[in-house]
Amino acid sequence: MTMINFKSITKSLVITYCLGQLAACSKDYNFTPAPVPYVPPCDTCATVELSLKTDILPIFTSKCNSCHSSIKPILTAAAAYASLATYVNTGTPANSLLLTTFDSPGKMSSVTTTITAADKKKILDWITQGAKNN
């Protein structure tokens, strides 16, 4: 009767398995990372960094706070930045709800007559620059 050497078989199986794993790791799977989207330089952006405190809040204070000191988004100096998080889209600034709402018929009718194209441009530039809390 022949004895089976389980120790030798187990050792051979482990070595074969390890060699197979090493071979699998060395294969070229043609991994290609997702392309990074091209963001063209902004020809219309302000060249000076805009500040929430000195450039944007004055617009809100003079033209928006008659309503937005108590309804969302709260645009008071203390709450504006946190309140604007869902209204600002830094990926596509022109599509930010903060800007598109100005042009929506029937919404904020009192503001649409007082907010100027220059105000909108300044807000757009601030968002384009990353909508920083500065």
| Contact predicate 85/74, CB 8 Å | no
DSSP letters for the chain:
-PPP-HHHHHHHHHHHHHHHHHHHHHS-----PPPPPP----SSS-SSPP-IIIIIHHHHHHHTHHHHTTSSSP-STTTHHHHTGGG--SSSGGG-HHHHGGGSTTSSHHHHTTS-HHHHHHHHHHHHTT----
Which positions of the chain have pLDDT values less than 50?
none
d(CA 114, CA 76): 18
pLDDT of the residue at 51: 92
In the chain, domain spans = 52-128
Tokens of 36: 């990074």
d(CA 118, CA 134): 20
pLDDT of the residue at 7: 75
What is the tens place of the pLDDT at every residue in 55-85? Answer: 999 988 888 877 787 788 888 888 889 988 8
d(CA 93, CA 85): 13
pTM value surpassing 0.85: no
